[in-house]
Structure 1
C-alpha cells in the first residue's frame, strides 16, 4: 500500500528553519489546534501541519511505516527541522519523527509536546464518541442507540486491541451511516470525503499504538493544561511520573491550551533556545 502524507503551511518564512506540528483537526472538533498557537508565536520559521495518509483502520499498515511516509516531503523541501510539536496523541508521532529526523539531519530537533498521551482503548472510545456526536444530528434514534451499543459491546470483548476496536467501530458505523447519509441527501462524493476523514482519524489514533514514545519523551519539553484527565496530569494519577525533561504548567484547560498568549510566549522561548 502506498502511503501519501502531505503538509499544510501554517506560516511561511524565508528562514531555513522548519517547525512541524502534529495533530488531527479535520473532524470539526472543539479543541483549539496548532493554527491558533502559531498565530501567536513570535518565532521566525516556517510551520507545517501534518495531513496523515488517508487509510482506514485495519488496513494492515505498520505504525513505523505510517510515520516514515511523513518524511519524504520534508526531505524534498531541503529545509532543516528545528523543532517538532505534538498535541495529545500527536505527541507520540512527534517523538517518532524526532528519532527519524535525528538520523536524517545528524542532530535531533527540539521536541515540544502539549498534554502528551499514548493512545488507548479509552482514548479511541472517547474520541470516536465526540465525532459520532457531531454526526448524530442526521442519525435516527435507532441509529444512535445501535452505535452506542456497538461502542460499549466491542470495548468489553476479551483481548480486543486498539487497532481491532477502531477497525470494527469504523466498519459498524459505516453500515449505520451509509443509510443516514442517503436520508440526509448527501451526495456520494461528499459522503466518501466524510468516511475518508473519519477513517484517517481513527487510523491516526490506531497506529500510535504501534509506537513507543516513552524514551523520546524523556528529551521533551511538555506544556501541561489544568485538566486532571489529560496529559501528564493523567499519567501522574496513574502513578507514572518523570516522563519528560521539562514541564511547563498553565491554568488554561486542555481545550483552549493552544489559544493562550502565555503558552505562546513560553513556546517562543523554547524555540529560541
Structure 2
C-alpha cells in the first residue's frame, strides 16, 4: 500500500481520473473554473425563481419595519412601557395563533407535494373541498398543540395568564385562525402552481403582514398612509381588541365584528384562489410533477 505521497501528482496538488482510453489523466485538485461553474449554476437557479430573489430582501425589510415602528412608538409613549408586559406577552401568544394556523395548513399541504402524493389522492373519490376541510382541521390541531403549552408555561415563568382575557379570547383565537386559513389556502395554491421555488412563500407571506397587523403596538403608531392598510387586516382588530381589554378593561365588540366580517371575505378569496390554482394544476398535469 502507498500513502498517497508516493504519487507525484498528489504531492503537487494534482488528482487523477480515468481518461478516454482508461489511462489516468492528471487534473488540478483545485480549480477556479469548477468553482465558477457551480456559482453560475446556483445563480441560474436563483434567477429562475423570483420568490427566491424577493426573499433575499424580504426578511431584512420586514424586520426593519417591525422593530422600527415598535421603537418609534415606545420613544413617543414612554408611559406605555410600564403597562407593556402583559400586552407584549399576549401579542406574542396571539401572533403565534396566526402564524401556526397558517403554517400548519401550508405544511400539511406541502407534505403531500414532497411525497408526490397529490396525484394518488385525486384519483380517489376525494374532492378538493374535502381536502380543504382536512387541511383546516390539521391547522387547528397543530395550532392547539403549539400554543396551549406555551400559554401554560407563561403562567409558571411570568405569572401572566392570557386566559384572563376571558370569553373574548375565544373570539380572538377563531378570528386569527380564520385569517390564517385564508392566507394558507392562497399560499398553498400558489405553491402548487409555481412549485418548490415558491415554497418560501409559506413562511414569508404571514410575516409580511406582521408590521401592519399591530401585533405589539397600536395602529395609531403607524404613519397615516400605512394605517389604512392595517385596518384592512382582520388580525389588527384582534390585537387592538386585546389591548383595550388589558389596558382599559373594555371589550370592543365592534372591533371583533368588523374583524369577522373581513375574515369571511378573505376566507372566501383564499378558498377560491386555492380551488382555482388546483383546477389549473390538474388541467396542466402539475399534480403528478410535484415532489422533492
Normalised-by-shorter TM-score class: under 0.3
Question: Considering only CA atoms, is the larger Rg found in Structure 1 or Structure 2?
Answer: 2
Could you say which structure has the higher helix fraction? 2
Hey, which of these two has a bigger chunk of strand by percent?
Answer: 1
- When normalised by structure 1's length, the TM-score is 0.25
